[in-house]
Structure 1
């Protein structure tokens, strides 16, 4: 995977709704991004031209990670939407797909073999689960159980470590990095501020960036990372370039 990316959600739902995700690609390319994270929830409801969107990303020199909010697990059952999401990712030319964990309670050897077969049959190189903002899918224990079970079953399942989401679930990010770091293939970066009793994504300050360096020490060297915090500025390309360089220096 490329080293530094931007999730299109960083530009805000309103801008994406008005202009579309493809409209962000020239800015990302000009700012020096290595890749883009295409968000399924920001595509129009009837969207089906994944091939064209993938070609546009390629024309701008951007590697694609595909983000789908689907939950990989419901108890011991795989999501029935997984084959469709893998097909969409393949049509985009994505190197990786990111899903929510869902509610994992353990599963059978046959189910792990089925997941392994689906991954092996797809051109998408990396299938990842992310710590989301829920108790079921965003806390250390179920993520660790799933990823350890995957390793035991020989299934190539990886993790997206979202630095900010731990503040929604109350887990310690450093402890989470220590427990889960060996599974991490991709890092979501966002600063956090608190308002009205809840966390909100923000541009990270210097103190937050210093704590991120501590987190990174638990992950594989050179792990790819993505901006998932608000990118808003009068001179947008320059601001995006500046933020990409901050992440590249971690």
Structure 2
């Protein structure tokens, strides 16, 4: 059975803005989740300060939940250069939260992975630069993972293949991992199953959602009983890595929905 994280937005963006992340920690735990993904874009600036993040991390840990820190910031800028400020800020926030993973977007990576500098900066920041199968290594620093996004920039399969090849060729293989979002590939028109087969060796965390709609008007939804894409993608990806619920629960039955989908995703 895989560990399951609930992404805060699954409870509804307005609910998180209104109540704060900590208010939804107990429902997440009652649903059977092992982890909670905190979203920077659903926080007021004051709530993202170090003391506030430490308090939030303590509250989540008190419910038995390990943490993911998610930021919309990108590892590489639009010019293709490593964004050291964004990485430093993300890792510092993750350390304050006591996060296992710090998740960024890939951004404008265009072939130069800055492998040596990336590895040395991660060491300086106290992030983990090696993959581990042990459960919670937050005490030794968070693990940085990059996610495929919904935009062309940072959402194309070739970018991720080139990134991990460049890190390998630069002597920095394994210094970061990947969050594989099954649904996000559909926004830039990439085939999720082809991506899963190509990137499985680098995947350390999975976001699960189905998608409805066309073009820019696509929306995340819960996978239906007849959804074959999520199951097929999960079958191609590592079975031992955590899986995150990143689709909205039915607001009329939030806690029942949460429990149902945690059980479903753990066994899928």
TM exceeding 0.5: yes
Paired residue secondary structure (1:98)? strand
Distance, in Å, in 2 between the alignment partners of 1:226 and 1:38 is 12
1:179 to 198, 207, 213: 198
Partner residue of 1:16?
A: 16
Distance verdict in 2 for CA 1:109–1:22, change over 3 Å: closer
Alignment of 1:44-59 (within 5 A): 44-47=44-47, 48=49, 49-59=52-62
Distance verdict in 2 for CA 1:148–1:113, change over 3 Å: same
Distance, in Å, in 2 between the alignment partners of 1:46 and 1:233 is 27
Q: Is the 8 A contact 1:131 1:138 kept in 2?
A: yes
Deviations 1:60-84 (A, max 9, x none): 1111011011100121323312112
Q: TM-score, normalised by structure 1?
A: 0.92
Partner residue of 1:87?
A: 92
Partner residue of 1:133?
A: 150
> Does residue 62 of structure 1 match 2:54?
no
CA apart distance, 1:213: 2.3
1:124 to 120, 141, 146: 141
Distance, in Å, in 1 between the alignment partners of 2:39 and 2:238 is 25
Deviations 1:141-188 (A, max 9, x none): 111111222233224210000011111110000111111111111110
Unaligned runs of 5+ in 2: 129-139
Q: Is the 8 A contact 1:83 1:118 kept in 2?
A: no
**Number of equivalences:** 248
Distance, in Å, in 1 between the alignment partners of 2:148 and 2:224 is 22
Deviates more, 1:108-117 or 1:16-25: 108-117
Alignment of 1:230-241 (within 5 A): 230-241=248-259
Partner residue of 1:101?
A: 106
Distance, in Å, in 2 between the alignment partners of 1:228 and 1:248 is 14
Distance, in Å, in 1 between the alignment partners of 2:152 and 2:220 is 19
Distance, in Å, in 2 between the alignment partners of 1:217 and 1:43 is 34
Paired residue secondary structure (2:108)? strand
Partner residue of 1:40?
A: 40
> Does residue 164 of structure 1 match 2:183?
yes
Unaligned runs of 5+ in 1: none
CA apart distance, 1:237: 1.7
Paired residue secondary structure (1:194)? strand
Distance verdict in 2 for CA 1:118–1:139, change over 3 Å: farther
Partner residue of 1:113?
A: 119
Q: CA RMSD in A?
A: 1.9
CA apart distance, 1:58: 0.4
Deviations 1:61-120 (A, max 9, x none): 111011011100121323312112111111111011110001012144542333442465
